[in-house]
Amino acid sequence: PAEPLLPQEANGVGGRAVRVGTRRSQLARIQTDSVVEMLRELYPDLHYEIVAMSTTGDKILDTALSKIGEKSLFTKELENALERNEVDLVVHSLKDLPTSLPPGFTIGAVCKRENPHDAVVFHPKSSGKTLGLLPEKSVIGTSSLRRAAQLKKKFPHLEFRDIRGNLNTRLKKLDEKEDFSAIILAAAGLKRMGWENRIGQILSPEDCLYAVGQGALAVEVRAKDQEILNMVSALHDEETVLCCIAERAFMKHLEGGCSVPVAVNSMLKDGQLYLTGAVYSLDGSDSLRETMQTSVNYPQQNEDGPNDDVQHVGITAKTVPRQAQQAAESLGVELASLLLSKGAKHILSIARQLNDAR
């Protein structure tokens, strides 16, 4: 594997600050700080400077995310800064990054994944309950078509309504008004914010499959910036990388985005990578779900040469065996092909039309 830079070798980077781009939201800052902390431990001699900026997704708060339809809603401004050399790397939630990155960029690190499942946060008056125990017609807040589609099917007695805003805003809306009995959020975000005590229920894969890349942090860099790429590649977590390559390849082959309900669950166990993928109609009445597996048990080979920086669905992982990455990507593509052969395209195109018409 490409050896991470030793601090004394990081001279290419040394002598100047490493500038790290992030969104302004509290969660984004916490996530970015955690990545900078890991880099500090690896390269204590370098200086780090955090550059926070607002993105389109942070500014448009009155429209459902799925309606805006812009894939790079939370990433565009950050990528512009990266392109203009104003920052050296950017920290994102991996699930915000499209499966095809703009030319010239790559995901140079995928950090160890936090719990990828969805969590239910209940209104104080419903605390101690589960979704199944909420009264008829209780309103659940979520801005995710994926969550709503799965949960409508599973809990037909509940109603689902859009709720937008960052985590703080959504929790405030839940607690201070009587509009919602509960809201659904990613468990990872709640844990990172230190609000684990608010989690009333973690949704199992039987209840709700999660979003592609959910719970993982990604470090985006300029693809040609070898110094920074080598530096951040030490942050890769092999298991997370392989799971997320498979998930992203599945999504990409389906051509799914924010505006359609696509969901996954992946697991690496004893050298086998398992991927469950599903597509849903908006109301959840129509769905396809399959699971496949493949071996990713390959040794790391020392492969130098010009094809050193092969990207797999936007990820450059020099520290992970290349054959394993290839196997993970093929798994995602094959699973998507299987769903497409069973009619996934039809389900997704109707979901897209209905969502556009909402």
Query: 148 and 38 in one domain?
Result: no
Query: 225 and 312 in one domain?
Result: yes
Catalytic site residue from 96, 118, 207, 237: 96
- Average the pLDDT over each of 49-58, 71-80, 213-222, 240-249 and give the range with the smallest value: 71-80
**Last residue in a domain, options 173, 202, 231:** 202
Query: 168 and 98 in one domain?
Result: no
pLDDT of 305 above 90? no
**Last residue in a domain, options 147, 170, 202:** 202
Q: Which domain holds residue 33?
A: 18-115+212-357
Neighbouring C-beta atoms of residue 349, cutoff 10 Å: 12
Residue 175 known to be catalytic: no
**Last residue in a domain, options 202, 236, 268:** 202
Cβ atoms of 34 and 192 within 8 Å: the answer is yes
What are 235-286's pLDDT values in tens digits? 999 999 999 999 999 999 998 655 689 999 999 999 999 999 999 999 999 9
Q: What is the CATH number of the domain that holds 185?
A: 3.40.190.10
pLDDT band at 330 (very low <50, low <70, confident <90, very high): very high
What own/partner pairs with CB < 8 Å and gap ≥ 24 does 294-298 have? 294/327, 294/328, 294/330, 294/331, 295/271, 295/327, 296/242, 296/268, 296/271, 296/272, 296/321, 296/324, 296/327, 296/328, 297/271, 297/272, 297/324, 298/322, 298/323, 298/324, 298/327
Query: Quick check: pTM over 0.85?
Result: yes
3 inside domain: no
Query: 217 and 131 in one domain?
Result: no
At residue 105, φ and ψ (nearest 5 deg) are -120, 155
The shares of helix, strand and coil residues in the chain, as percent rounded to the nearest 5, are 40, 20, 40
123 inside domain: yes
Sign of CA dihedral 254, 258, 264, 267: positive
Q: In the numeric block, which tokens belong to residue 84?
A: 């203009």
CA-to-CA separations, 8 to 5, 13, 15, 234, 291, in angstroms, rounded: 8, 10, 11, 15, 46
Q: In the numeric block, which tokens belong to residue 66?
A: 């799925």
